[in-house]
Amino acid sequence: MLLKNPVIPGFYPDPSVCVVGEDFYSVHSSFGYFPGIPIFHSRDLTTWNQIGHVLTRESQLALTGASISGDGIFAPTIRHHDGTFYVITTNVRHGGNFIVHTDDPAGPWSDPVWIDSPSESGIDPSLFFDQDGSVYFTGTGNDRVQQFRIDVASGRALEPAISVWGGTGGQYPEAPHLFRIGNTYYLTMAEGGTEYMHMQTIARSATPYGPWESCPHNPILTHRSRKSPFHAVGHSDFVRSHDGRWWLVFHAIRPTSYPMFHVCGRETCVAPVEWIDGWPVVNGGELITSEMPGTGLPSTIAFQEATSDEFDSGVLAIYWNHLRNPVVDNYRLSDRPGWLGLVPGADDLSGRGCPTFVGRRQRQQACTAMARFDFSDLRQGDEAGLTVFQNEDHHYEIAGVRSVEGLELIVRRRIGDLESVVARSLRFGESITLSIQATPEMYVLGFVDEGEQFVEIGRGRARYLGTETAGYFTGCYFGMYAVSSEHRARPCAWIDWMSLD
């Protein structure tokens, strides 16, 4: 089987990987989304299935007031030591760096162990368990790698933070990982920022604190100014498979158009690593491509994600997320078996509250999202529909609203601080399949009529939902939402199924 990059398409950035026997586990940043930190499992580094989320409870993940794409959970690291899995990460604005642990990566994970870290420890924390029992915290603050030994059980720093390396001179040195091969310590990091200048560098030393010798062929991975479908490669973690070979897990974007933009966020990729003269050579020094030679690792699991959720099982499928901390009672899966009922709150998609919203990631540039709505409980003041959502300030939706004349469909575009309903259409009948068709350049919003034909109501350019326009760190979601100017204790919209192909 070929190694097809990205191995985890869609907004699954800042990958970190650990291996236990033949099993690889990856974790990813989730910013303002809940639950937080999706965790995936693989045997061959090619087929990855989500097995859960690391942060599933409000006691682990406070997101009050978080910017959906610029706050919340940044860059986790996963490590396995003595039968225990550890994830260390940062909740920006709500407490800083913390560790959670478990013996089952599918969860549940512990409550946070907060790190009493000196402020310079900053973001992008990593852990390294050395052979003598020392555990090193490695993070980035003040544009340098900051490091100290830590007691992982209590989160206590065992020494003051030491500034160990500033990288090779690129801006935004970040995402450091310390590891060891034989008697040599390696410190790898990303530089250049997570945009088009992104690159991965590495240094080595005989001690965990340096002095560091920078790799003579740094950066070991970059696509800066290269012609390729993949850009912004970086934020990497090294992993060794049970057969002794090494791999780099990193993220990339797949932008289109001119100037380039991307809507699917930063996506996880894999490449082989060879060690030559004690330095890593990534993918033989060649550019990353969408089809690379297979890893040769036994592929014993099949890809499992279903394209549609019929809401029959009484629980939401594993890929669904909410914006910030959800009001759990606003999502009804048992009131009407086989349907998801959305109770609208007062918060809308453009604010920083907890709107009634359940969404899943856009994983390819060209795809179609559909959801079957029953609007018979929709009253004046309510609005419910399907959105393609990048962040509070950048989203398009097709929604049902109740006017005196009946059920109306509206298409709204929110681009920066401009917000406008750009199309309206009166409908007959209360059940309707809303759809958003995505192409690399356009989102077309409409419904599917009785003859299974798509009918457009309005459209919006993909560019304005690109991260280059919207800012910060996330990719687009397709979501169902409900909002009301009136207090409602019951669902205003029912959804029979939602599909994404």
Q: Which is nearer to ligand 6LW, 40 or 375 (CB)?
A: 40
Of 190 and 411, which has the nearer Cβ to ligand 6LW? 190
* Alpha carbon distance 375, 402 (integer Å): 9
Q: Which two tokens stand for residue 398?
A: 């097709």
Among 61, 75, 88, 500, binds ligand 6LW (CB under 6 A): 75
Q: What are phi and psi of 492, to 5 degrees?
A: -100, -15
Is the separation of the CB atoms in 231 and 255 below 8 Å? Answer: yes
- Counting contacts by CB under 6 A, is residue 248 touching ligand 6LW? no
Output the smallest distance, CB 313 to ligand 6LW, in A.
32
Q: Report the catalytic residues.
A: 14, 174
Residue 255 tokens read as: 């932008």
CB of 172 to ligand 6LW, least distance (A): 8
Of the residues 51, 123, 316, 423, which one makes contact with ligand 6LW according to CB under 6 A: 123
**How many whole angstroms separate alpha carbon 465 and alpha carbon 474?**
10
d(CA 233, CA 224): 8
Binding mask 138-177 for ligand 6LW (x = CB under 6 A): ------------------------------------xx--
Cβ proximity to ligand 6LW: between 29 and 283 the closer is 29
Phi, psi at 469, each rounded to 5°: -90, -45
Nearer to ligand 6LW, 250 or 447 (CB): 250
Contacting ligand 6LW within 415-434 (CB under 6 A): none
Give the residue nearest to ligand 6LW (CB): 194
CB of 145 to ligand 6LW, least distance (A): 12
Q: Which residues contact 347 (CB under 8 A, 6 or more apart)?
A: 353, 354, 355, 356, 483
Collapsing DSSP to helix, strand or coil, 73 comes out as: strand
Site string for ligand 6LW, 437-476 (x = CB under 6 A): ------------------------------------x---
Q: Which residues contact 313 (CB under 8 A, 6 or more apart)?
A: none
- Binding residue (CB under 6 A) for ligand 6LW from 44, 124, 383, 397: 124
Tokens of 222: 């970059």
DSSP output for 179-234: EEETTEEEEEEEES-SSTT-EEEEEEESSTT-PPEEPTT--SEE-TT--SS-EEEE
Nearer to ligand 6LW, 230 or 473 (CB): 473
Nearest to 216 by CA among 160, 269, 280: 280
Rounded-to-integer distance, Cα 188 and Cα 8, Å: 22
Min dist CB 74 to ligand 6LW, Å, is: 4
Among 235, 254, 322, 361, which residue interacts with ligand 6LW (rule: CB under 6 A)?
235
Within 10 A of 265 (CB to CB), how many other CB atoms are there?
27
Residues in CB range of 357: below 8 A, 6 or more apart = 322, 323, 349, 387, 389, 479, 480, 481
Build a one-symbol-per-residue string for 22-61: x at contacts with ligand 6LW by CB under 6 A, - elsewhere: -------x--------------------------------
In whole angstroms, the minimum distance from the beta carbon of 124 to ligand 6LW comes to 5
Question: Least distance to ligand 6LW from the beta carbon of 191, Å?
Answer: 10
Q: Which of residues 182-221 bind ligand 6LW (CB under 6 A)?
A: 190, 194
**185 closest CA partner among 166, 162, 205:** 205
**Footprint of ligand 6LW on this chain (CB under 6 A)?**
13-14, 29, 74-75, 123-124, 174-175, 190, 194, 234-235, 473
